Amino acid sequence: MPADQTTANWNDRSTQWVKAAPEGTSKNDAPNQTLIAFAGIRQGDHVLDMASGTGEPAISIALLVGPEGSVTATDATAAMLEAAEKRAANLGLKNISFLHCPMEEIDFEENRFDAATCRFGMMHARDPLAGLRRTHHALKPGGRAAFMVHGAAELNNLWSTVHTVVAEYFGHDNAASFARHYKYSLEGEPSAVFTEAGFTDVEETLTVTEMRYPAGEAFWRGPLTRGFSEDVAALDAAGSAELERILTDAFAVFLDGEGYVLQSSNRTTRGTK
Ligand SMILES: C[S@@+](CC[C@H](N)C(=O)[O-])C[C@H]1O[C@@H](n2cnc3c(N)ncnc32)[C@H](O)[C@@H]1O
């Protein structure tokens, strides 16, 4: 696989993602179920999942489509896909296969799949239009693709706050990571790519979820270690304590009564072949 097909350093990033991956079913299945519903996936369907990473939403789809159906889970990073494969083996899934390939190079025959999905991969691909064209080709007539990206930065205040505060602490410019994370987050942006790739009946839905955490919980650890693992590992005890204090202060604006109230949002786009 040519290195330039993965836009970010996913080989390096995969270490933290693999550590955080569940052993079996998803830890937070709600976004997967949104995608599955929007793609209209049913028992017995054959589904192509792009940029599956450690198995989201591929594992959830395999559980839904059952033994008559199948999932082909694909990703540009081998280590991510290996974690997905382990999860599938732990769950005894026999209806899922894995393909290490960037979405720009997926080369299935025409009319093979009933549906296609992609969760948080469109913004990381070098050429998502090429990926969507290949998806369109591989779908059966009437087949649906549904791709999920993040909603706008202000509707994802956990990720946005961590990446603002921590980047500043370590003296990093976070413009590129914000641009990547929130690429296609505005209304109409992903739809335009779907339409250009040949999809019809293109529509988007925005999901906003309230997240509640008890006061005292360091709920920012996930995005902190996934986004800044090397910087955090290099901190001494005093530095770690200082960073925790800075994060606690930054999140104080979200305190409401018993705990923190934050928002997470996703934009899902679907189109029909
Ligand atoms: C944010 S992760 C999302 C993984 C998973 N779908 C999830 O929601 O947890 C992004 C994934 O996109 C993959 N990726 C990056 N560029 C890609 C490309 N050109 N084609 C396919 N996958 C790609 C990375 O390897 C990584 O696994």
Please indicate whether residue 77, judged by its CB atom, sits closer than 6 Å to ligand 1: yes
Distance 95 CA to ligand 1 centre (A): 21
Residue 185 is given by DSSP the state: -
Q: Which of 25, 80, 226 for a ligand 1 pocket mutation test, highest count of atoms within 8 Å of Cβ?
A: 80
Distance 18 CA to ligand 1 centre (A): 13
Q: Quick one: average pLDDT of 26-47? A: 97
Q: Which residues contact 59 (CB under 8 A, 6 or more apart)?
A: 24, 25, 26, 84, 87, 88, 91, 93, 96
Q: Quick one: average pLDDT of 3-10? A: 58
Contact status, residue 163 vs residue 174, Cβ threshold 8 Å: yes
For residue 61, the surrounding DSSP H or E stretch is helix 58-65
Tokens representing residue 261 in the block? 């109230």
Fold adopted by 3-152+183-209+265-272: Rossmann fold (3.40.50)
- The pTM of the full predicted model, rounded to 2 decimals, is 0.94
Please indicate whether residue 183, judged by its CB atom, sits closer than 6 Å to ligand 1: no
Please indicate whether residue 49, judged by its CB atom, sits closer than 6 Å to ligand 1: no
Ligand 1 atom 9: the closest Cα is on which residue? 56
User: Where in the chain are the domains?
Assistant: 3-152+183-209+265-272
Share of the chain above pLDDT 70, in %: 97
Q: What is the pLDDT of residues 46-63, one digit of tens each?
A: 999 999 999 999 999 999
Output the pLDDT for position 245.
95
Output the pLDDT for position 258.
82
Q: What is the pLDDT of residues 184-229, one digit of tens each?
A: 999 999 999 999 999 999 999 999 999 999 988 889 998 998 889 8
Output the pLDDT for position 8.
55
Output the pLDDT for position 196.
98
Q: What is the pLDDT of residues 238-248, one digit of tens each?
A: 999 999 999 99
- How many Å apart are CA 28 and CA 51, to the nearest integer? 18
Output the pLDDT for position 136.
98
Q: What is the pLDDT of residues 119-170, one digit of tens each?
A: 999 999 999 999 999 999 999 999 999 999 999 999 999 999 999 999 999 9
Q: How confident is the model at residue 1 (pLDDT cuts 50, 70, 90)?
A: very low
Output the pLDDT for position 238.
97
Q: Quick one: average pLDDT of 2-25? A: 77
Tokens representing residue 106 in the block? 């997926």
Give the other-Cβ count within 10 Å of 253's Cβ: 10
- Distances from the Cα of 120 to the Cα of 53, 142, 211, 217, 244, angstroms: 9, 24, 19, 26, 28
- How many Å apart are CA 269 and CA 187, to the nearest integer? 10
Please indicate whether residue 53, judged by its CB atom, sits closer than 6 Å to ligand 1: yes
Output the pLDDT for position 73.
98
Nearest in space to 120 (alpha carbons), one of 70, 33, 57? 57
Please indicate whether residue 21, judged by its CB atom, sits closer than 6 Å to ligand 1: no
Ligand 1 atom 7: the closest Cα is on which residue? 56
Output the pLDDT for position 6.
54
Q: Please give the span between the terminal C-alpha atoms of the chain, in angstroms, as a whole number.
A: 28
